[in-house]
């Protein structure tokens, strides 16, 4: 018996209403502003023909204030699964064209269903946030919905990768859902994220500010450190999601997508021999080293504009996906400060939880000296790096390019902090503290009596470097495993990584450690 025309027509009619969302006019308005609709965002995320929606026929709860006659197609959020590069991914996309993408009870239930599916199927989840926040008519029903989403974000953390795209407003408490995820990508124009907007700040504190200053992509990428990538527009945001996913496993039980060829053929890069300047105070760009090590120079930098004194990101070495962490000598001389410590520690923990080996490149003169740093808690923040590295059980390889001084060296994953292999270049300087500081303490009397104090200090510092900071001293004490020519770095790391692919390290059972936060 064939389906009756009435039933078939009814389905098509309902489908059309739901698929139209806010209607053609609202879609046109979006396009005029160079933006995609919620459905178009999912269309560009997933490979053609792979999207399976759930909740297309969702209806808002009509018992709420002023809602009885309202039509809210999909309840303002489109949810489902699809494939990216042949791998399944779950997603939701808030539809600003439908009551401002505001979050009501059913809207929240749909997002929760996407998150529940992600954890059940062991697949990453991508969320497009574009919403006026809690649906005011639904009051505490909406508030409760946010609570249910946050709760799931936390349950998913460390189980499946969670990626947020901020593609419109994301205001008030709503910003905490993206904040609980692993990566946030924000579009340069049309997106705002804040807890209290300029108007609230002015009325409560009298401070005058602008949305650009507190809630723009630029502010979050470079000042607050709340986001990881700036996208030029929606299409670029999706490109970044694709690139990010290409380095990540689907869940914490899987390996990341390595591209391992059976034969390891790596040629030396003589340019690396020339990179480090003769004068140890002259900076060099660590990105050049990273790009030389990453297969095809393909390096996805994370948080490029925040705490630029440390560089983090993903690449492959000899086909193996790795997370790079490197001091950046061109910014604040590569010192570790509060922001750099927070940035690197969280990245190390992400890599560890998703089985991504960590390659650490060291040129660190120490922690950044300063009253502000001490008063704002560099001890607590720097401790995060020690904690993150020492708790990480993934393969850890450390390359000492130049300075490796004091506690900051330990914070960059020395052998004592659990590195599986530490290699140094002949330019390495490894010591308990920097030469100038050590000399000023050890030779106070000699310096006071010297006629030319500057020349004497330099002479003693040079002597200290060659006598006490040479990598051969550390190699002699087995604190580093080898000293290599810079040009040999890639082949050395690639070989070590292959040898560590089946690394296993167990720790005493515990609920979780107590990382200094």
Q: Please list the active-site residues.
A: 172-173, 407-408
Min. distance of Cβ 33 from ligand HXC in angstroms? Answer: 10
Footprint of ligand HXC on 77-106 (CB under 6 A): 99-100, 102
195 vs 484, which CB is nearer to ligand HXC?
195
Coil/strand/helix, residue 147: helix
Cβ neighbours of residue 482 closer than 8 Å, sequence gap 6 or more: 421, 423, 424, 475, 492
Q: Does 127 bind ligand HXC (CB under 6 A)?
A: no
Supply the DSSP string of 489-504, one letter for each residue: HHHHHHHHHHHTTT--
122 vs 172, which CB is nearer to ligand HXC?
172
Footprint of ligand HXC on 130-149 (CB under 6 A): 132-136, 143, 146
- 338: tokens are 């509060």
Min. distance of Cβ 517 from ligand HXC in angstroms? Answer: 20
Contact 362, 400 (CB under 8 A): yes
Helix axes 435-442, 453-468, angle to 10 degrees: 110
Residue from 122, 158, 172, 198 binding ligand HXC (CB under 6 A): 172
Min. distance of Cβ 280 from ligand HXC in angstroms? Answer: 50
Supply the DSSP string of 161-196, one letter for each residue: -EEEEE-SEEEGGGGHHHHTSSEEEEESSS-EEESS
Q: Does 38 bind ligand HXC (CB under 6 A)?
A: no
Residue from 173, 377, 476, 499 binding ligand HXC (CB under 6 A): 173
Q: Does 11 bind ligand HXC (CB under 6 A)?
A: no
Cβ neighbours of residue 72 closer than 8 Å, sequence gap 6 or more: 59, 60, 98, 99, 104
190 vs 360, which CB is nearer to ligand HXC?
190
- CA-CA distance, 428 to 403, in Å (whole number)? 6
Q: Does 169 bind ligand HXC (CB under 6 A)?
A: yes
Footprint of ligand HXC on 329-388 (CB under 6 A): none
- CA-CA distance, 290 to 348, in Å (whole number)? 16
Contact 20, 73 (CB under 8 A): yes
Min. distance of Cβ 249 from ligand HXC in angstroms? Answer: 31
Min. distance of Cβ 132 from ligand HXC in angstroms? Answer: 2
54 vs 176, which CB is nearer to ligand HXC?
176
Q: Does 302 bind ligand HXC (CB under 6 A)?
A: no
DSSP 104: -
Min. distance of Cβ 149 from ligand HXC in angstroms? Answer: 9
- CA-CA distance, 434 to 468, in Å (whole number)? 10
Picking from 43, 34, 38, the residue whose alpha carbon sits closest to that of residue 20 is 38
Contact 83, 117 (CB under 8 A): no
Min. distance of Cβ 147 from ligand HXC in angstroms? Answer: 7
216 vs 327, which CB is nearer to ligand HXC?
216
Q: Give the contact letters, 254-293, x = binds to ligand HXC (CB under 6 A), - = no.
A: ----------------------------------------
Total residues contacting ligand HXC (rule CB under 6 A)? 15
Segment holding 385, helix H or strand E: helix 378-391
- Residue closest to ligand HXC (Cβ): 132
Contact 324, 489 (CB under 8 A): no
Which residues on neighbouring strands pair with residue 84, listed in sequence order? 87
193 vs 321, which CB is nearer to ligand HXC?
193
Which residues on neighbouring strands pair with residue 305, listed in sequence order? none
33 vs 259, which CB is nearer to ligand HXC?
33
337: left (phi over 0), alpha (psi -120 to 50) or beta: beta
Torsion sign across C-alpha atoms 62, 66, 69, 75: negative
Site residues for ligand HXC per CB under 6 A? 99-100, 102, 132-136, 143, 146, 169, 171-174
């Amino acid at each position: 018996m064939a389906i009756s025309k009435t039933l078939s027509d009814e389905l098509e009619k309902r489908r059309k209403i739901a698929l139209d969302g806010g209607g053609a006019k609202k879609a046109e308005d979006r396009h005029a502003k160079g933006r995609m609709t919620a459905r178009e965002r999912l269309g560009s995320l997933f490979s053609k023909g792979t999207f399976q929606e759930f909740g297309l026929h969702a209806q808002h709860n009509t018992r709420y204030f002023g809602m009885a006659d309202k039509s809210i197609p999909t309840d303002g959020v489109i949810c489902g699964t699809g494939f990216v590069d042949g791998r399944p991914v779950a997603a939701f996309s808030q539809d600003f064209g439908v009551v401002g993408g505001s979050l009501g009870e059913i809207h929240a239930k749909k997002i929760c269903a996407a998150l529940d599916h992600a954890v059940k199927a062991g697949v990453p989840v991508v969320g497009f946030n574009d919403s006026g926040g809690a649906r005011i008519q639904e009051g505490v029903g909406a508030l409760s919905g946010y609570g249910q989403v946050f709760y799931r974000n936390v349950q998913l953390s460390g189980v499946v990768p969670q990626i947020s795209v901020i593609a419109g407003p994301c205001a008030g408490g709503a910003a905490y859902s993206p904040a609980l995820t692993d990566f946030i990508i924000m579009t340069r124009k049309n997106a705002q994220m804040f807890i209290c907007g300029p108007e609230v700040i002015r009325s409560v504190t009298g401070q005058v500010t602008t949305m650009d200053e507190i809630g723009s992509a630029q502010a979050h990428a470079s000042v607050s450190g709340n986001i990881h990538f700036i996208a030029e527009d929606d299409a670029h945001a999706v490109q970044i999601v694709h690139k990010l996913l290409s380095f990540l496993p689907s869940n914490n039980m899987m390996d990341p997508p390595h591209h391992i060829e059976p034969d390891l053929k790596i040629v030396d890069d003589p340019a690396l021999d020339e990179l480090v300047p003769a004068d140890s105070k002259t900076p060099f760009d660590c990105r050049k080293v990273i790009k030389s090590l990453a297969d095809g120079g393909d390096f996805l930098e994370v948080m490029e504009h925040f705490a630029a004194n440390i560089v983090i990101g993903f690449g492959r070495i000899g086909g193996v996906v790795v997370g790079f962490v490197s001091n950046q000598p061109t910014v604040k001389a590569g010192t570790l400060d509060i922001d750099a410590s927070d940035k690197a520690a969280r990245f190390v923990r992400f890599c560890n939880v998703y089985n991504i080996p960590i390659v650490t490149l060291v040129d660190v003169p120490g922690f950044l000296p300063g009253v502000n740093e001490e008063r704002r808690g560099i001890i607590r923040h720097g401790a995060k790096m020690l904690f993150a590295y020492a708790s990480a059980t993934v393969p850890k390889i450390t390359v000492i390019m130049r300075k490796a001084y004091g506690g900051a060296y330990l914070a960059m994953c020395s052998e004592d902090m659990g590195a599986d292999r530490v290699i140094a270049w002949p330019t390495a300087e490894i010591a308990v503290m920097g030469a100038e500081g050590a000399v000023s303490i050890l030779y106070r009397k000699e310096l006071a009596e010297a006629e030319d104090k500057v020349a004497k200090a330099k002479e003693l510092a040079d002597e200290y470097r060659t006598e006490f900071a040479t990598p051969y001293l550390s190699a002699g004490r087995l604190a580093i495993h080898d000293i290599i020519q810079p040009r040999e770095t890639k082949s050395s790391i690639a070989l070590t990584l292959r040898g560590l692919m089946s690394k296993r390290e167990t720790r005493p059972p515990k609920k979780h450690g107590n990382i200094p936060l």
